[in-house]
Amino acid sequence: MTQARAVLAGSGIAIPPLEVDNHMLSRIIDTNDQWVRERSGVVTRYYVEPGVASSDLAVEASQAALADAGMEADAIDYIVCSTMTPDHYFPGSGTVIQQKLGMKPLPVLDIRQQCAGFAYGLQVVDALIRGGVAKNVLLVGADVHTSLMPFSARTFEVLHGRDPGPLSDEDFQWNSRFRHLLVLFGDGAGAMVFKAVPGEERRGILDHALYGDGGHRDILFVPGGGSQRRPFVSCQMIQDADTVPVMDGKAVFKLAVTRMPEATHTVLQRQGYGTQDLDLLIMHQANLRINEKAQQILGLPNEKVYNNIQKYGNTTSATLPIAFHEARQKGMAPEGALVAFTALGAGLHWGSVLMRV
C-alpha cells in the first residue's frame, strides 16, 4: 500500500470585530486613503479588542475548521501552530490553543516562519501524515499585529472613534513613524484540519518547494526582544522602537514578485503539471500589487487567483488559510481542484505548496 496522504477535511477562519478603514487610520497617523489603496490595495482591516490574543483567534478558527470537518477536537492527534505574535515570548501558543480547545495532552508544535509560516505548516502536516506520525492534524495560523504597534491605549480609542480625539501632536508624530507598517497589516486567524487517507493517490498535499535564506534577514526583522541583546528587552529599546519590525518594503516587494512565481513553477513542474493545470492560486496577502505582478508572471487568468487583502490587509500566518477558506466558500476550490499556495516573508522564508482538494 502507498503512504497515507494528508487530505483536507475542513477549514475555518476567525475575523475580529473591529473594522478599520483607511480614513479611520488618518485619525492616528499621517496617511490617506488614496496612498494606501494605490500602493497596497488595502481598503479595510480588522482589529481585536485589547486583551484578545492570537491564541483566542486561533481557537475560534480551529473550532470552525473542526466543525467544517465534522470532527470533535478529541479526534485531533497533532497540532501545528504558526504565529509571529504568540501570546508570550515563550512558550509558543500551541499548548495554549490545545488547552483552550479542551483537548487531552498531545504533540503540539509551534513554527515561526512569519508570512511563510502556514506554507511551512502544510509541509510539516504532509511529513507527519506520510511518515505515519499523525492521523488527524490541526494546522492553525493566527496573528495579532496590533500588539506590535507601540501605541498608547488612547491611540486605539481615537482610531475606533470611542474617544473624539484629536491625539496630541507628539503622539501623532510618533505613531506616524510606523505608518508604512500599520496600513498594511490586520489581525486574523485561519485553520485547516487534515486527515490521513491510506492508499489515496490523487488528493491531498502533493508537494512543496520551500526555502530559507538568512542573507536577506535584515530587510524584515525585529531588532530588539531577543537573546542577541542583554537584557532581551529594555526601556531604551522601547524608546527607540526596537521592538517594532524594521522593513525595507521595496526590497521585500522585489523578492516576492520573483520568488513566489519561481517556487510555484518548481512545485508544479516536479509533479508533472504546468500553470494551465492549476485551478486556484492562493498567494500570501502582503500587497495587491505584488500579487498582480506575480499573477502576470505566471500567466494566470483572474478566475484562478483569489485575493482578499483589500478587506483584511496582511494577517501574516493567517493569509493563506483565510483566502483559501473564502475561495472554497465561493466554489473556487471544489473537491479535486488543484491548488497552489505561495508565500514570502521574514527570514527570508518563501516557497509554494501544491495540494489537490
Active site residues: 115, 284, 314
* 112 lies in the site for ligand UT7, by CB under 6 A: no
Please report, as residue ranges, which positions from 273 to 302 form the binding site for ligand UT7 (by CB under 6 A): 286-287
| Residue 12 vs 41, nearer CB to ligand UT7 | 41
Q: What share of residues in the chain are helix, strand, coil (percent, to 5)?
A: 40, 25, 35
Q: Which of the stretches 100-108, 150-158, 179-187, 228-236 binds ligand UT7 when contact is defined by CB under 6 A?
A: 179-187
| Residue 115 vs 134, nearer CB to ligand UT7 | 115
Tell me how far apart the alpha carbons of residues 55 and 47 are, in angstroms, rounded to a whole number.
14
* 39 lies in the site for ligand UT7, by CB under 6 A: yes
Are 286 and 318 contacting, i.e. CB atoms less than 8 angstroms apart?
A: no
Q: Residue 305: what are its φ and ψ, rounded to 5°?
A: -130, 140
In the numeric block, which cell numbers belong to residue 105? 495532552
In the numeric block, which cell numbers belong to residue 240? 527607540
Binding mask 137-176 for ligand UT7 (x = CB under 6 A): ----------------------------------------
Please give the torsion angle defined by the CA atoms of residues 254, 215, 234 and 186, in that order, rounded to the nearest 10 degrees.
30
Closest distance to ligand UT7 from the beta carbon of 201 (Å) = 35
Are 322 and 93 contacting, i.e. CB atoms less than 8 angstroms apart?
A: no
- With H, G, I as helix, E, B as strand and everything else as coil, classify residue 106: coil
- Binder to ligand UT7 among 115, 189, 322, 348 (CB under 6 A)? 115
- Binder to ligand UT7 among 157, 253, 266, 273 (CB under 6 A)? 253
* 31 lies in the site for ligand UT7, by CB under 6 A: yes
| Residue 64 vs 260, nearer CB to ligand UT7 | 260
Q: Is 272 exposed, middle or buried (0-12, 13-18, 19+ CB in 10 A)?
A: exposed
Q: Which of the stretches 121-129, 201-209, 246-254, 329-337 binds ligand UT7 when contact is defined by CB under 6 A?
A: 246-254
The type of residue at 173 is: Q
* 317 lies in the site for ligand UT7, by CB under 6 A: no
In the numeric block, which cell numbers belong to residue 292? 498582480
| Residue 15 vs 36, nearer CB to ligand UT7 | 36
Residue sitting closest to ligand UT7 (CB): 249
In the numeric block, which cell numbers belong to residue 293? 505582478
* 314 lies in the site for ligand UT7, by CB under 6 A: yes
Among candidate residues 56, 205, 220, 245, the one with its CA nearest the CA of residue 121? 205
Tell me how far apart the alpha carbons of residues 68 and 63 are, in angstroms, rounded to a whole number.
9
| Residue 4 vs 286, nearer CB to ligand UT7 | 286
Please report, as residue ranges, which positions from 329 to 348 form the binding site for ligand UT7 (by CB under 6 A): 345
Q: Which of the stretches 7-15, 203-211, 248-256, 267-275 binds ligand UT7 when contact is defined by CB under 6 A?
A: 248-256
Among candidate residues 325, 330, 329, 333, the one with its CA nearest the CA of residue 278? 333
Closest distance to ligand UT7 from the beta carbon of 290 (Å) = 6
In DSSP notation, 109-139 reads EEE--GGGHHHHHHHHHHHHHHTTS-SEEEE
Which parts of this chain interact with ligand UT7 (CB under 6 A)?
31, 35-36, 39-40, 115, 179-180, 183, 247, 249-250, 252-253, 256, 286-287, 314, 345
